Structure 1
Amino acid sequence: MSFYKFLDENAIESFLSGNMLFKCIEYYRGLEEDEIGRSDKHDGELASKAWETPYGNPIEVILTPNRKEDHVMCVSRNLAKQNLDRMSKFGNKVIVIEDEEAFTERIRKRADIDKYEFACQNAFYYSGEDATDINIMKRLSKGLEQFSFLKRKLFDYQQEFRFLVFRENASQDDIWLKIGNIEDIAEVMSPEELKKRLV
């Protein structure tokens, strides 16, 4: 399987040379909503309207962890052909990372060298109706960092795989991990070229 990173052409060279940009989750919460889909006001939170008062009035409950130091970098995985048009708004080029394991290990090693805690997994997509599902609660019971992988179901077309780095008392400034050149495990193509490959 492959990872897919959509970028504008002017950012391709930096990414291929191994400069990985991690942004704090609050950055994505604070973006204004646009047609691209980068903004998610509940990114890394559990938001639900599954409850109501005894009088039938809906209650919105939002669980937000105290994880201001969490920084993420996202790629796509298991991408469906029918979602490519929406994804191409993230960039006019796609970097296809053909060796997931090698790419992940390079990030893990760099995070360790730079003294960051590290985690990675597929984003977990949920709807407000199933926010009380026991599976979500089991997931969150593994640790507060699990919040950083929560996304609302309306964003599931992105099929995110997230890399998370965090360090106690880290600032909210962008984090750059320099993992070395990745051209040996990646290639660049247009969304149209990728579409021909996907089932």
Structure 2
Amino acid sequence: AAWLHWKRFRVPITVAAGAASVAGIVVALVVAALGERVESAQNLILGLVLLLGIGTFLFAMWWDSSDRARLTRRSDVAFWLHLLAAPMIVHPVFTLLGLNDGRATIGEGLVVILLYVVIGLTALAIDRRALLVSALAYVLYALNRLFEQFGAVELNVALTALVIGSALLMLSAFWHQARSTVVRPLPPGLKERLPLTDRTAAIPQPAA
């Protein structure tokens, strides 16, 4: 139904809605097949959601690579797919790391921050901020726990907000420069599939 709706009306969010429906059906079928064992198979379900998220992300990249200058609806389709894929990837990863049990250690906190850096580099390369936003709550929690571990209990919330806020503000201000730096050393074959770093050259110029 979603595909027919897309073919008829070309509404960008329709493809993401269809992908979400397919992913939901797959997860529901697995949960139904597990039956009473579902409680002991939480990691299996999280792993399945992660795989579905990666599949959705690759599907989004397929749409993105077909409109590298982001001039058509295909880019809008990719945006909604990235918005869907981001939590499907981020939530299982951080949950499997044990961050949602409320007992994050210093080591786990550092791993979360390292993963957020990797996520940030990926977001820069594909020029999509959805991954950064989806992982933000987890990295805020991890930094909060780290400050607590180092004794800054009274200031942990303020310090966390200051560190993350400053980092994201700097990244937003220098997004295009940072993206050029990240994309430049990548292999040519990969760069040819990523959004253009200079889209002005791809915009048709009016005739004189």
What is the TM-score normalised by the length of structure 1? 0.23
Q: Give the number of the structure whose residues are more often strand, by fraction.
A: 1
What is the TM-score normalised by the length of structure 2? 0.23
| Structure (1 or 2) with the larger CA radius of gyration | 2
Bigger relative contact order (CA 8 A; separation at least 6): 1
